């Protein structure tokens, strides 16, 4: 994974390890400078984030046992944004600051050279709590989103944290359904019949690429990983009075997509690779803290750790240690101060994939 981008090892060595004596010893400054001219790479301590809670008509007023948060009466919470722009740093020197501001100010340290030009954290991680049916919606891909002036489209994936019997999600259209059939089904309020329904249960990973018509129904708690994007077109709302974006949806939707449940693959250290696609890689580490730490420390990319169960201790030089409890998320900067991981927890590790170089190549293609 580290070798995905040519030169990333060289870059990492430049940032972390090369000093004058090193250079004198190995005489490699010249070639290093072409890879990255800066010798002053800022390093940042890992830190945890407190969620931003998003009010949604279809949410809950009490998020126990997942989060301690209680909503104001009549203002149910549907989403806990773990890496949203308004999430708050909850440990260390930057505590109290908004995540968006911290990422802007420390873009190189947090995102590394591949993602620094994104200007924001490229992945948005949320926990979703639907108490009612979520609208049927679709997101544009990068090309369409950028034609409309947005920075990126939205491909997402859903890890099912909890499910009730009979839980299901809609992924794409049934075979043979045409855009005209979609239009008339919206008018006579029968679009559900044209969707491909997929049963889900706890532990499933569902991939939802941009252009896939999709809906989440109640009976699940979902850890969602998505490209950071606000662009959602609502195609259908079961006759509820919220605004629809039918023509934009039909322009963005694709009749055939790659969406579906993904079977986990065994990693090399006891982890499960749940999804590994263009924009993100998500792994589940079942109580393998030492192996997880070794894997995280060997990776020179931005990383996120989310605790599903148990607790992790993050310690290191030059920063206050902190504990990551259930449902808490830590940001591991691409250029991190020396740190260690202890404790015992089941953890999701989430990595953005691609970066600006690869993405602009895709857009040209
Ligand atoms: Zn979506």
- Mean pLDDT, residues 20-48 taken together: 55
332 Cα: distance to centroid of ligand 1 (angstroms): 26
Quote the distance between the C-alpha of residue 291 and its chain's center: 22
139 Cα: distance to centroid of ligand 1 (angstroms): 7
pTM of the predicted model over 0.75: yes
Domains and CATH numbers, the chain: 2-35 (no CATH), 49-262 (2.60.120.10)
- Mean pLDDT, residues 123-133 taken together: 92
Q: How far apart, in Å, are the Cα atoms of 249 and each of 182, 192, 245? A: 10, 16, 6
pLDDT number for residue 59:
82
Supply the DSSP symbol for 103: H
75 Cα: distance to centroid of ligand 1 (angstroms): 22
Q: Give the pLDDT band of residue 21 (cuts 50, 70, 90).
A: very low
Alpha-carbon distance of 137 to 41, in angstroms, equals 42
- Mean pLDDT, residues 216-240 taken together: 93
pLDDT number for residue 15:
34
Alpha-carbon distance of 125 to 183, in angstroms, equals 32
* 38: nearest Cα among 107, 120, 122: 107
pLDDT number for residue 65:
83
pLDDT number for residue 356:
53
254 Cα: distance to centroid of ligand 1 (angstroms): 14
């Amino acid at each position: 994974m580290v070798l995905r981008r040519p030169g990333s090892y060289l870059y990492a060595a430049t940032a972390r390890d090369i000093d004058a004596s090193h250079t004198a010893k190995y005489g490699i400054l010249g070639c290093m400078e072409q890879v990255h001219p800066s010798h002053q790479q800022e390093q940042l301590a890992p830190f945890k984030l407190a969620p931003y809670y998003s009010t949604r008509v279809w949410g809950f007023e009490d998020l126990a046992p997942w989060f301690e948060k209680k909503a104001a009466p009549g203002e149910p919470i549907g989403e806990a944004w773990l890496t949203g722009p308004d999430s708050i740093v909850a440990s260390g020197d930057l505590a109290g600051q908004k995540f968006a501001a911290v990422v802007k100010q420390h873009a190189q340290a947090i995102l590394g050279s591949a993602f620094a030009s994104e200007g924001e954290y490229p992945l948005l991680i949320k926990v979703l709590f639907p108490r009612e049916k979520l609208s049927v919606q679709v997101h544009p891909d990068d090309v369409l989103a950028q034609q409309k002036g947005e920075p990126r489209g939205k491909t997402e994936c859903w890890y099912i944290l909890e499910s009730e019997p009979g839980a299901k999600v809609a992924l794409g259209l049934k075979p043979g359904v045409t855009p005209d059939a979609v239009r008339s089904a919206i008018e006579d309020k029968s679009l559900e019949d044209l969707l491909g329904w997929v049963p889900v249960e706890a532990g499933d990973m569902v991939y939802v690429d941009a252009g896939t018509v999709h809906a989440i129904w109640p009976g699940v708690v979902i850890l969602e990983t998505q490209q950071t994007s606000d662009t959602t077109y609502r195609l259908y709302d079961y006759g509820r009075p919220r605004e629809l974006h039918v023509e934009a949806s039909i322009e963005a939707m694709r009749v055939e997509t790659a969406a579906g449940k993904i079977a986990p693959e065994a990693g090399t250290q006891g982890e499960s690779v749940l999804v590994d696609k263009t924009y993100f890689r998500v792994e589940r580490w079942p109580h393998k803290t030492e192996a997880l730490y070794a894997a995280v420390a060997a990776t020179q990319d931005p990383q996120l750790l989310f605790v599903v169960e148990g607790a992790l201790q993050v310690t290191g030089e030059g920063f206050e240690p902190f504990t990551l409890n259930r449902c808490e998320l830590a940001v591991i900067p691409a250029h991190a101060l020396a740190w260690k991981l202890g404790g015992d927890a089941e953890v999701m590790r989430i990595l953005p994939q691609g970066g600006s170089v690869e993405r602009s190549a895709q857009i040209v293609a």
